[in-house]
Structure 1
Amino acid sequence: MKIMAAPDSFKGTLSALEAARAMAEGVQCADREAEVILLPAADGGEGTMSSMVSATGGTFATHVVEDPLGRKVHARYGVLGDGKTCIVEIAEASGLPLLKKRERSPLTASSYGTGELIRHALDAGLRTFIIGLGGSATNDAGAGMVEALGMKLLDQNGEPLPRGGRALGDLATLDVTAFDPRIKESTFLIASDVENPLVGEQGASAIFGPQKGASKEMVAYLDANLANFANVVEQHNGIALHTKRGAGAAGGAGGVLQAFFNGQMRRGIDVVLEAISFAEHLETADVVLTGEGKTDSQTLSGKTPFGIAEAAEEKGKPVLLVSGMVDASSLHLLAPHFTEIHSVVGETVSKAQAIEHAYEELKKKTEAVIKAYFKKIEGEIRSSGDCAE
């Protein structure tokens, strides 16, 4: 029996790789002879880089770059196991996790550090990029990112703009003379489920600004500045970002990646599954295990377990969902997509226990699920060992 362990991270407790290992140990406790394939997955949000590098046997490169407020930090990009594909996660250098809540400042936060990471990867000879846009702290339309790669953003007097979303209202022209020519030699795939346009009621500032520290008044101001940025871009190259699908991702970085990097936007989980050769591994798997911290109706909006279930359904493979928690009110929506649905939190395990002992509880729950599944399909318990206390 070959079983694939392909969970997302259990946010706040286990990385996707740790969750996959816990599941694998649980499977081995249920059946010593079972073969387990570890394929930690993600959907384009935070943690995508680590999952993809782990799943493909890749490596990381660390560099000193600027955080959203211009402070020096160590940040990484990943290189997948093919040695050619670079993955850059915007949260690494320009993400909310780098800031304390009181430091959140969408008026001044910049994506410059993400541009620096791309430049370092280009210096290393990499030309195939996957960009993950989850978890950004910025609302600068990706202006800092292109500045780090040589583009000049100038006001009406020809002076460079300060970094951040506040200054974009003064943008008059773009000078691309020194914009890194290696960008044109490269391909950029944007892993994002965000379809929001750059501006308007569903734009970057209105929908995502508040979580980055923007007040109601600030949202309107930032939105107007992003509109000015879009106007200047359209005047420069004819690409209208105002209502472009996905342009509002990561504070507008999704737009600049489409306008100046020829970035192609795809659903995050699809990008990840393709990069980790999920379909190839699926061909020989008998059962797929997946899960996440909490599963509810939002899971069906392109989250990792749903993407896994979709791919497995195409091949007629059973999918067992084992998540930290499962929203009972969403079961009727989830049931058509999963062979079985299980929650670590239950009658014998409290939420506090599941968080404090996340690895062990996931391992034990997986063991129980696999034993019961084997019993159901074969009529007997195939366990050759019992690791659970």
Structure 2
Amino acid sequence: MMQILIAPDKFRGSLEAAEVCHAVEEGILFAYPDARIIAIPLADGGEGTTKILTDKSGGKYISAEVHDPLGRLMNASYGLSGDGKTAFIEMASASGLKLLSAHEYNPRLTNTFGTGQLILDAIEKGVGKIILGIGGSATTDGGIGMAAALGYHFLDENGKILIPIGESLSKINSIDYQNADTRLLSVSITVACDVTNPLFGLNGAAHIYGPQKGADPDMVKELDRGLQNLTKVAKKAFGKDVSDVPGAGAAGGLGAGCLWFLNAELKEGVGIVMEQTNIAQHIQDSALVITGEGKVDEQTLSGKVVKGLADLCGSYDIPLAVVCGTLMITPEETRSAGITYAVSVLNRPMDLDSAQNNAYTLVKDATFNLVRLFFCNK
């Protein structure tokens, strides 16, 4: 009996990763009823990561009252592993763009304080390890909001404590860490990060991601100068410049903030999820791996679920098939990425609403056809 591993990301706007698994499984069994199927939903460190890791560990969800990106009280949740030793937190649940209306987007005024509150709550639960996903932020505060929730103070030239928001970055003259929570020293924090941008500069947090959070050109320049200033002050306080570490610019500079204020480790999000789900062993035991996501493009080939799986499958010489909503890479790119077969699920002209509403059936049908191709004699 042939084993087929299903390991997709979500199809944003239409199917969660677990739903993609179900659709793919239906397509496989229709084409190859005797297949042995292993289904493992994946994520790249962004939305959905907490659920996948919490469920995989047999854990539970914890709710905590925190402040949203604009300082309003709300309830946010995070995952706690079955053994109670690891917390799985998504910064977007407390500091995400999804929590704001479009007219509220303003990275000068938003901050990551709520994310720090979730970290604090997890520490108070006695965890020894935190896995923090930092995708989907509404912020460009360099992590100072998060740090403030954990006891750090950011002072201006007169020694006055600044409100830890984006517009304060350029005013920071010193960092007071005397009241920082000492329990941070005994907690291992791994940050799931799916981008490699530096903290500042034309490829940095403000210039690349600021506009989608509501920053106009002048605000982008202001925030970029602020992140440069934070780097200067933090380097003096902590003795290290992390601004060029790949991922430092993730989530509005929260990547760098985690390195400075939490002594965290930045890792590729998909790598963390694959490690936690023991995906490598399942790949070795499979005849075919099927993955997918809503759009496969050049960004997919640099740190997303599909690329992570392609690398692993290549190391074990196991074929990888990709089903997706939109296929935007060339045959040459497909081959060089280590993808055996890639197909869009769109089998006829249709608008976006129709594609999203029919995504489950489209994924199932595309999977049927690709499995027949791989196992036509079965």
User: What is the TM-score with the length of structure 1 in the denominator?
Assistant: 0.91
CA separation in 1, counterparts of 2:295 and 2:247? 26
Counterpart residue type for residue 332 of structure 1? E
Counterpart residue type for residue 101 of structure 1? A
Number of the residue aligned with 1:355: 356
Number of the residue aligned with 1:386: none
Q: Is the Cα contact below 8 Å between 1:192 and 1:266 reproduced in 2? A: yes
Are 2:260 and 1:259 equivalent residues in the alignment?
yes
Per the alignment, do residues 59 and 135 of structure 1 end up closer, same or farther by CA in structure 2, a change over 3 Å counting?
same
Structural RMSD (CA)? 1.9
Number of the residue aligned with 1:282: 283
Runs of 4+ with deviation above 6 angstroms: none
Q: Look up the SS of the partner of 2:120 in the other structure.
A: helix
Q: Is the Cα contact below 8 Å between 1:79 and 1:87 reproduced in 2? A: yes
Q: Is the Cα contact below 8 Å between 2:32 and 2:375 reproduced in 1? A: no
Per the alignment, do residues 325 and 242 of structure 1 end up closer, same or farther by CA in structure 2, a change over 3 Å counting?
closer
Q: Is the Cα contact below 8 Å between 1:287 and 1:317 reproduced in 2? A: yes
- Offset from partner CA, 1:258-281 (integer Å, 9 cap, x none): 112221122221121111111122
Number of the residue aligned with 1:385: none
Question: How far 1:252 moved relative to its partner?
Answer: 1.2
Per the alignment, do residues 243 and 23 of structure 1 end up closer, same or farther by CA in structure 2, a change over 3 Å counting?
same
CA separation in 2, counterparts of 1:3 and 1:82? 30
Q: Is the Cα contact below 8 Å between 1:335 and 1:341 reproduced in 2? A: no
Per the alignment, do residues 5 and 66 of structure 1 end up closer, same or farther by CA in structure 2, a change over 3 Å counting?
same
Per the alignment, do residues 82 and 342 of structure 1 end up closer, same or farther by CA in structure 2, a change over 3 Å counting?
farther
Number of the residue aligned with 2:305: 304
Number of the residue aligned with 2:231: 230
Q: Identity, % of aligned pairs?
A: 39
Which runs of no fewer than 5 residues in structure 1 stay unpaired?
Answer: 383-389
Per the alignment, do residues 87 and 20 of structure 1 end up closer, same or farther by CA in structure 2, a change over 3 Å counting?
same
Per the alignment, do residues 244 and 340 of structure 1 end up closer, same or farther by CA in structure 2, a change over 3 Å counting?
closer
Are 2:118 and 1:117 equivalent residues in the alignment?
yes
Which runs of no fewer than 5 residues in structure 2 stay unpaired?
Answer: none
Counting only pairs closer than 5 Å after superposition, residues 25-44 of structure 1 correspond to structure 2 as 25-44=26-45
Number of the residue aligned with 1:133: 134
Counting only pairs closer than 5 Å after superposition, residues 183-332 of structure 1 correspond to structure 2 as 183-327=184-328, 330-332=330-332
- Offset from partner CA, 1:81-128 (integer Å, 9 cap, x none): 564322211111111111111110101101000000101111111121
Counterpart residue type for residue 193 of structure 1? D
Per the alignment, do residues 35 and 321 of structure 1 end up closer, same or farther by CA in structure 2, a change over 3 Å counting?
same
Per the alignment, do residues 25 and 164 of structure 1 end up closer, same or farther by CA in structure 2, a change over 3 Å counting?
same
Q: Is the Cα contact below 8 Å between 1:40 and 1:55 reproduced in 2? A: no
Identify the range of structure 1 (217-226 vs 335-344) with the bigger mean alpha-carbon deviation. Answer: 335-344
Number of the residue aligned with 1:333: 333
CA separation in 2, counterparts of 1:9 and 1:55? 16
Per the alignment, do residues 81 and 324 of structure 1 end up closer, same or farther by CA in structure 2, a change over 3 Å counting?
farther
Q: Is the Cα contact below 8 Å between 1:40 and 1:52 reproduced in 2? A: no
CA separation in 2, counterparts of 1:262 and 1:98? 28
Counting only pairs closer than 5 Å after superposition, residues 115-194 of structure 1 correspond to structure 2 as 115-194=116-195
